[in-house]
A = this chain, B = another copy of it.
Amino acid sequence: MNTLIQSIPPLDHSAVNRAQERQAQLTKPAGALGDLETLGVRLAGVFGTGRPDPRGVAVLVAAGDHGVARAGVSAYPPEVTPAMVANFLADTPHGPGGAAVNAIARSVGARVYVMDAGVNADLPDHPALVRAAVRRGSRDLSAEAAMTAEEVEVLILAGAALARQATLDGADIVVPGELGIGNTTAAAAITARMLNLDPASVTGRGTGVDDAGLARKVEVVRTALARTPTTDPLTVLAEFGGYEIAAMLGMMLQAAALRRAVILDGFVEGSAALIGVALAPHLGEYLFPAGVCAETGHAAQLEHLNLRPMFALNLRLGEGTGGVLAAPLLLAAAATLREMRTFAEAGVPGAEKEPE
């Protein structure tokens, strides 16, 4: 695991420079493609070429249960987790999977991978289900450490292995996704500790708890944080996290180590990213946030990561849905840099006065 953490290279700055030079000569007013231009240039640095050509998109959905879900922090019962895993894998008239992430992935041509990172159920065998569970759900983070250090390492490596498989299958863009009743509570605790913020400012309604549920959730996070003052990233993850969060961290680290772009979906993914950039500072250069999700605390994560999201569609579903939805925008950013002609190539007159 330490090898993985230490193996994330900085962006290829020579490719970034070549991309910036080319960007300035393309047949459009300077800056007219807005954020697509900065996204394209960063993709050049990720892929080490001035004309990035990312192909496959994969969304890796890790599912895990949370001991804390018994504390009334979610609008849904924990039985939803295994039922939704089955939904991700179901045969439907439209293809595999009947959940939002399946429909969106089909729509944008992305491949879906499903991992049991620690679901509290005896999941039926399915050829497409990646089994990585070491325990049926995490411990209750309000009472004790959610995971052991060893469990965290196993799940990080399992996430890394799945990301490696996805890249071998052709993915140049990797979208970690998650499912887990209770996991916005875990993400809130991680975010509060890593950013040194009050739980109330980073704890949201998740799948839709009411005011009383939200107050309970804030108290649960506060109780958890009071158990230990640790700020060591991997210990914070073990204390407050969950198996699918550890797995997503492994996916991000491995994708970056293999110089692939990672789309960052929502608040739970963001909590894994906070741990990740604390461990491996260059990781942030490989992360492309999809949108600001409606969950409180997500904006604070993105500000800390110094990353600008691509849209604001008020998604708060998870599953990697926002990330898959953003993939076409990233592919388009690469396409403009790669395929547009320059003013000279096209014989188009430039601006009469060049910008200063």
Contacts and interface: CB of A to CB of B under 8 A. Distances in A.
Interface of A: 26-36, 75-77, 79-80, 83-84, 86-87, 90, 92, 94-95, 98-100, 102-104, 106-108, 207-208, 210, 294, 310-317, 321, 324-325, 328-329, 331-332, 334-336, 338-341, 345-353, 355
B346 A94 contact: no
A32 B315 contact: yes
18 contacts: A27-B87, A27-B98, A27-B99, A27-B100, A29-B75, A31-B208, A34-B315, A36-B325, A83-B347, A84-B348, A98-B339, A98-B346, A99-B341, A103-B332, A107-B335, A310-B311, A310-B313, A324-B332
B76 A349 contact: yes
Contacts of A317: 28-29, 32-33
Contact of A335 (B106, B346, B352): B106
Contacts of A328: 107-108, 325, 328-329
A325 B347 CA distance: 26
B208 A94 contact: no
Nearest to A331: B107
A217 to B, nearest CB: 15
A352 B75 contact: yes
A356 B114 CA distance: 33
Contact of A321 (B33, B94, B324): B33
A315 B92 CA distance: 38
Contacts of A35: 313-315
Contacts of A26: 100
A34 B345 contact: no
A325 B104 CA distance: 16
Contact of A332 (B94, B104, B208): B104
A332 B79 CA distance: 28
A355 B205 CA distance: 13
B351 A103 contact: no
A340 B27 contact: no
B352 A77 contact: yes
B103 A340 contact: yes
A313 B98 contact: no
A299 B15 CA distance: 36
B353 A210 contact: yes
3 closest A-B pairs by CB: A34-B314, A98-B341, A328-B328
B76 A351 contact: yes
A76 B294 CA distance: 41
Given A207-B29, A340-B98, A346 B90 contact: yes
Given A207-B351, A339-B92, A108 B325 contact: no
Contacts of A33: 100, 315, 317, 321
